[in-house]
Structure 1
Amino acid sequence: MQSSFKLRDNSAVTIVNSLPTQTQLNAFYLRELGEPQNYLSVPKSDEYYDIHLIEDAWNDFEQSLIDTATFPQNYSEFINWYHELHSLHTKEVSSFFNWLANEATLEELGFYIAMEEQVDGRFDDVIALAQLGLTGDMKLALAENYWDEMGLGKEAEMHTVLFNESAKKLSALLDNGVLIPNPPTEALKNGNLLLMYSLRRQYHPRLLGALAILEHTAPYRFSKTVKAMERLNLSEDIIYYHEMHIKIDANHGKQLLQRVLLPLLKHNPEIMKEICIGCLTRYNIAIEYYKSIRISIS
């Protein structure tokens, strides 16, 4: 099949890191996750060729930033490696989140929350897809995570509902709302990575690694966000979603590590590289994402 993309040449890095390409990927993924009544909009088979070329080039680029020689070689080494990455992640984003907690204006906080919608909007679907293929207690660990996302069976407590309500109420406090017709490339990459990993089954181990480090580092980010909201005297109904995730995500991160990643690696050490790539790629993209928000605001 003749492709309209030429991603095997030196322009690949520029293309996959461009706003048009990441926007294209995001639109494609959302069509794949479309509601039942939108079944006619689901991508057709001949559309996947170009998308897969883009995804291959993107993954090649992200892997080029990672030194696989430093990866842990066994189960015991992974535990130390993972905890070191967790600590490094917090250290790398601390400047941004200390600024958010202590200095950001209401408008700047609103911009950050608007960017977070790029990830949070379909996070429940990502967790649902992450469960596929797992068995036993590993599947239960993700199922418990998913049930939390579902508000423990209460529609009003579903996390996507709570987040959307919080973001809407925060936006209403601003003079002109927070209208971002074209999110920065880094924000789209931050959301697209999880969507790609969850929709392409060959990246299942990477998805589990990315989710673990995302959930495990989330309580720090939420605690700083809550501090910013309290400093700005926002109402409890705006703060509630963010405050609840300080404890919830701490548990999710712990469960993903202890009940999913470690059992997988203990019995299937051959997937060590894939899980580590998922952890580090999420780390790299998240760091660039937070930098981009600060640059966009200033």
Structure 2
Amino acid sequence: MPENRKNLLAAGPLSAVRALESCTAGELALLTEDYAFRSRLATACKEIAERAYGQNDRTALAEVHELLAHVYDRDFTGVDITDVDHERQPLLRDVAAILEQAMLGHELSRIDEETVTGHPRSGPEYVRWLKDLVNAHPAGWHPLYHEHIAQRGTREDLRLLLAQETNLDPRFDDILASMQMGRTGGEKMEIAANYWDEMGNGDTGLVHTSLFARTLDAIGADRAFIRDSFMLEAGISGNLSACLGLARRHYYKAVGYFGVTEYLAPRRFRCVVDTWRKLGLHEAGITYHDLHIGVDAGHASGWFKNVVAPLVDGDARIGRDIALGAMIRLNTSQDYLDELLRRMRDRSPVAVGAEA
């Protein structure tokens, strides 16, 4: 591989990054020390990011997010003993830093500065202000859940929705584990309590990632279906979740981002649970969502009271970053729910009949 590294980027950065998987430890060391190669890799990443976000090239956007997904898959995957000497992180972080800057720059450019400034400076008042911000956003009560799924959702609608939800749900416990690093006191304890709930409070049969896997099995959303039906918009949301959850400097944005996630889950999951039961699907498959209606309501309350409010009380400047994270979550959630609703309506018999 190192002998051919001048040609490694011929097919683009995604191909080059994938090729790192087959490099030996020695080849990776040579690539890491080759700053001319790393410069070319960085340039290739900047070029594709510019096409994606500067020129609205959807093919380039998909490649940007495949690259980021590859990096995050490495971050969330346990290491095999045969891989312990293979150091890919310097190269992967080069890639991620450039693409994350483009991704976050785009998302931040969508937010009106007046939306995230002028907020209350006391914690309890800020929490009320933030909840109002969430409820006023189109994603707060999205018609995909509260009209389509609730009133006319089908088994295939639920299957398609759950395939998109793999962008976060299987990783949420690890994100919470990461967010605890460097935090102290009640703030850390709240995140830890949330994490322990995700761990089934010590009962391996109730670990939430396992429950979610059972839901996918029950609805027939296997790996092939998820791969074939997974939308770019869902992937973008998942990459943002990973980016904010793993990076220390984005911690305050992550507080807002995942606070919104917890706050909206109960109202959304209620629609899923009611439709699941109305369709007579296997009861064991809905345990995950049924459990989260109550659990996430408690998580949201605790998150706002013990994480958000104390942070703003401690330094009111943090309020802007929390609000930015909340808006990023709301905007990208709306993006993929809008696209998902369009797909559901396009294939629904009611929509076809209406068009005829």
* TM-score, scaled to structure 1: 0.91
Which residue number in structure 1 is paired with residue 343 of structure 2? 296
The equivalences for 1:67-82 within 5 A come to 67-70=112-115, 71-76=117-122, 78-82=126-130
> Does 2:132 align with 1:84?
yes
Asked if structure 1 preserves the Cα contact closer than 8 Å seen for 2:119 and 2:129, the reply is no
Asked if structure 2 preserves the Cα contact closer than 8 Å seen for 1:90 and 1:217, the reply is no
Structure with greater contact order relative to length (CA < 8 Å, sep ≥ 6): 1
282-291 or 6-15, which deviates more:
6-15
- What SS is found at the alignment partner of 2:88? coil
Report the Cα offset of residue 10 of structure 1. Answer: 6.7
The equivalences for 1:70-149 within 5 A come to 70=115, 71-76=117-122, 78-89=126-137, 92-97=140-145, 98-149=147-198
The equivalences for 1:152-231 within 5 A come to 152-171=201-220, 178-181=225-228, 183-231=230-278
Report the Cα offset of residue 227 of structure 1. Answer: 1.0
The equivalences for 1:265-280 within 5 A come to 265-280=312-327
CA RMSD of aligned residues (A): 2.3
- What SS is found at the alignment partner of 2:230? coil
Give CA-to-partner distance per residue, 1:12-40, whole Å, 9 cap, x none. Answer: 34369822211221121010222032546
- Relative distance call for 1:51 and 1:147 in structure 2 (3 A) is same
Report the Cα offset of residue 252 of structure 1. Answer: 0.6
Asked if structure 2 preserves the Cα contact closer than 8 Å seen for 1:34 and 1:42, the reply is no
* TM-score, scaled to structure 2: 0.77
Which residue number in structure 2 is paired with residue 31 of structure 1? 74
- For 1:208, the aligned partner's letter is V
Report the Cα offset of residue 81 of structure 1. Answer: 2.4
Which residue number in structure 2 is paired with residue 43 of structure 1? 88
Structure 2: segments with no counterpart, 5+ residues = 1-38, 347-356
- For 2:144, the aligned partner's letter is F
- What SS is found at the alignment partner of 1:59? helix
Report the Cα offset of residue 46 of structure 1. Answer: 2.5
- Structure 1 CA distance, aligned partners of 2:256 and 2:318? 11
Give CA-to-partner distance per residue, 1:151-174, whole Å, 9 cap, x none. Answer: 0101110000010011112117x9
Report the Cα offset of residue 89 of structure 1. Answer: 4.2
135-144 or 2-11, which deviates more:
2-11
Give CA-to-partner distance per residue, 1:35-91, whole Å, 9 cap, x none. Answer: 032546663202322221111011111111111223234324523321212312476
Structure 1: segments with no counterpart, 5+ residues = none
- Relative distance call for 1:75 and 1:30 in structure 2 (3 A) is same
Report the Cα offset of residue 276 of structure 1. Answer: 1.0
